[in-house]
Structure 1
């Protein structure tokens, strides 16, 4: 006879034993990195570049026409001014046609608390032809002001050298990593070089031009002040646009376009028309400039024996 306790034991043996199951944890969150950002030219910027190209070509033609009825010995201002807008027109054509730019990319790291960091690239379009333009045209503008003031060769050469250093260090800064000491270090050197340009042109030029009389002194003071104020705006715009990336590329192009029109065609017209009506600004260049080398060895009327 089977006792009740034996039945209970047999029931326990046939009953499945309860097992402990681990509670599933939360599914790990996947952080998708931000897509790479490209700050580049748009439709407004493209149109602005082509308009500036046409305007610089037209200005070059006007300056060339103004020089036709001027003796070769007195064309130095006309030649320098015409070359300035010719170089600018080539630069704008290169940028507008899309063959004179490069992206400068900076890696930006994004922090997500307890989750792994991610990163993405921020790339801004840099127009290197703009710096080539400045490296060629700003020395020509300095040369015009130096000739107008009667500045000596030493100060003129130092002003041009400081200007070239300013432009080249600005180019290095444009391709430096954003927010780094390299980026803003080159920018600082560029600004310091510009102070030497102000010293040689603004201070020494104002002192030297007094020997040419009050009329030329007033003209030089107006042109130099106008030029230096505009040139001061360039590094400010650079710091906001290319430096801190606070404006779009199209806005940057528009601002630089206005500055270029003022410093090249407008300033050039101002200088040439003032030079035509003010005899004291005449610079007579003979020798090779007016006669070339073909006349060497010939006896000209009025030459001393």
Structure 2
């Protein structure tokens, strides 16, 4: 693994306000945490019985995406220079690879939370769309150098308010098929995740938005948030669901092989009735005398 100094030298930044060597070293640390979390989540997924791996597989998706994103940022890759507001003609690195990470991770995490509730599919799809609006609005706003960026910031905040409404009020009001244990775990996990979500727009306003803090400070702040919203949150969430009854939720990890029977078992499908063996028909002229 390359160090921060080597990464910055091999991939020099093209902006005046850019990532420092210490910032790159911190990003390599976050990458190591994300990579370790990915391996642990993959092992935990394999150890689960088939048909009960859905939430663990979602964790693998999130952590794998974060590992790739932080490898890119630690290598000083995945950024573009944008004229910084309130700084004259000075340019600042805007890390679009971070928003690609969030574009995948935020809907995936929220999907895992809502699948534990009794929300209908239409509400879940709308909520996932609003999580995408939050990320895309942040990306477009970061790439705009004029004060119009705050219009996109407003769009993202409104979508974020909708997420809080669904996660903290609408979804808990639904009936939890798996009972009170899952409901209590959902309240804890969602309260924690919703609090983390509050801090992202604050960091954006200080970093890409208002250019109040440096790129290195931005990396430290976002890195801590992504660790708390990634491996730490997922570890706690999966622990609360360790004894969940997938049959009660009506969830299975897709099609799984049943080694105890010939063929495969699919959720919601009954095995076909055995077909009686029909003896061959012998023409009358060929029958034995």
Structure 2 match to 1:6: none
Query: Contact 1:206–1:217 (CA<8 Å) still a contact in 2?
Result: yes
Query: Contact 2:41–2:59 (CA<8 Å) still a contact in 1?
Result: yes
Structure 1 match to 2:27: 49
List alignment gaps of at least 5 residues for structure 1.
1-36, 110-119
Alignment CA distance shift 1:140-1:40 (3 Å): same
| Deviation, structure 1 residue 280 | 7.5
Query: Contact 1:53–1:93 (CA<8 Å) still a contact in 2?
Result: yes
| Deviation, structure 1 residue 214 | 2.3
Whether 2:45 is the aligned partner of 1:79: answer no
1:204 is aligned, of 170, 185, 192, to 170
Structure 1 match to 2:215: 249
Whether 2:110 is the aligned partner of 1:142: answer yes
Query: Contact 2:185–2:241 (CA<8 Å) still a contact in 1?
Result: no
Query: Contact 2:178–2:249 (CA<8 Å) still a contact in 1?
Result: no
1:268 is paired with a residue whose SS is helix
2:91 is paired with a residue whose SS is strand
Whether 2:219 is the aligned partner of 1:231: answer no
Q: Report the structure number with the largest CA radius of gyration.
A: 1
1:185 is aligned, of 148, 151, 171, to 151
Structure 1 match to 2:81: 103
Alignment CA distance shift 1:176-1:287 (3 Å): closer
CA distance in 2, matches of 1:231, 1:224: 10
Give the 5 Å matches for 1:162-181: 162-178=130-146, 180=147
| Deviation, structure 1 residue 288 | 4.4
2:45 is aligned, of 58, 64, 67, to 67
Give the 5 Å matches for 1:265-284: 265-279=231-245, 283=249
Alignment CA distance shift 1:177-1:70 (3 Å): same
2:51 is paired with a residue whose SS is helix
Alignment CA distance shift 1:51-1:209 (3 Å): farther
Normalising by structure 1, what TM-score? 0.76
How large is the Cα RMSD of the aligned pairs? 2.7
Normalising by structure 2, what TM-score? 0.80
Query: Contact 2:52–2:252 (CA<8 Å) still a contact in 1?
Result: no
Q: Decide which structure has greater strand share.
A: 1
Structure 1 match to 2:36: 58
Query: Contact 1:104–1:124 (CA<8 Å) still a contact in 2?
Result: yes
Query: Contact 1:73–1:283 (CA<8 Å) still a contact in 2?
Result: no
